[in-house]
């Protein structure tokens, strides 16, 4: 058997596999996942609760750094971890298929709130870099939108957390 004949057999086998997979998927009725309104609302509330927790953890880390109770690298690690939590919360919301208009509106509000918290945590990481003498400290930190003080940053975080809390209350969370 030549190498080209072997390739033709593999290609034919690959086509057969594709046909089988398409047939199986079509027969199982693959559709977008469906949730009941209560389940979808709970998913929105869970994502917002996670975002609120991440924002509160970021607020604590900034406060501790400002008080000199943790180092810049420790605060940065905490903030980076919170960005991962926020990424998970955003992913939960973006992949949710709302079953009704009310849930769709809650999801949109939730995405905005998670985005606000994420923006504040990103700004906190930049502030930590400036505070710790990182690359931003050598340049013009003012031109990058880095908050000038811990108080300003904490106010931004508090505002973002308020928006997340309001969205959570709207979604029926605690």
Domain boundaries, the chain: 1-30, 37-170
Mean of the per-residue pLDDT values for the chain?
82
Q: Of 93, 62, 96, which Cα lies nearest the Cα of 168?
A: 93
Asked whether residue 1 carries a pLDDT value surpassing 60, the answer given is no
pLDDT digits (tens, 9 = 90+) for 116-153: 999 999 999 999 998 887 665 545 445 567 888 899 99
Measured distance CA(143)–CA(122) in Å, rounded: 15
Burial of 108 (0-12, 13-18, 19+ CB in 10 A): middle
Asked whether residue 2 carries a pLDDT value surpassing 90, the answer given is no
Q: Of 149, 43, 69, which Cα lies nearest the Cα of 51?
A: 43
User: And the tokens for 157?
Assistant: 């975080």
pLDDT digits (tens, 9 = 90+) for 85-102: 999 999 999 999 999 999
Asked whether residue 158 carries a pLDDT value surpassing 80, the answer given is yes
User: And the tokens for 30?
Assistant: 């693959």
Measured distance CA(129)–CA(63) in Å, rounded: 15
Cβ neighbors of 170 (< 8 A, separation 6 or more) are 106, 109
| Alpha helical stretches, state H, the chain | 3-27, 37-66, 72-94, 101-131, 135-138, 150-170
Q: Of 106, 60, 96, 100, which Cα lies nearest the Cα of 81?
A: 60
Q: What is the pLDDT of residue 146?
A: 80
**Higher confidence at residue 35 or residue 154?**
154
pLDDT digits (tens, 9 = 90+) for 22-47: 444 444 444 445 667 688 999 999 99
């Amino acid at each position: 058997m030549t190498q080209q004949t072997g390739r033709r057999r593999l290609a034919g086998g690959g086509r057969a596999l594709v046909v089988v997979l398409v047939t199986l998927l079509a027969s199982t009725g693959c559709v977008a996942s469906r949730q009941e309104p209560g389940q979808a609302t709970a998913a929105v509330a869970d994502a917002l609760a996670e975002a609120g927790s991440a924002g509160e953890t970021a607020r604590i880390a900034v406060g501790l750094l400002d008080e000199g109770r943790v180092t810049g690298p420790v605060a940065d690690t905490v903030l980076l971890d919170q960005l991962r939590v926020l990424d998970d919360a955003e992913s939960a919301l973006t992949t949710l298929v709302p079953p009704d208009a009310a849930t769709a509106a809650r999801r949109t509000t939730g995405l905005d709130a998670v985005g606000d918290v994420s923006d504040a945590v990103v700004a906190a990481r930049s502030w930590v870099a400036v505070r710790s003498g990182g690359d931003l400290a050598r340049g013009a930190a003012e031109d990058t939108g880095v908050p000038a003080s811990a108080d300003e940053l904490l106010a931004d975080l508090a505002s973002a957390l308020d928006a997340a809390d309001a969205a959570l209350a709207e979604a029926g969370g605690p």
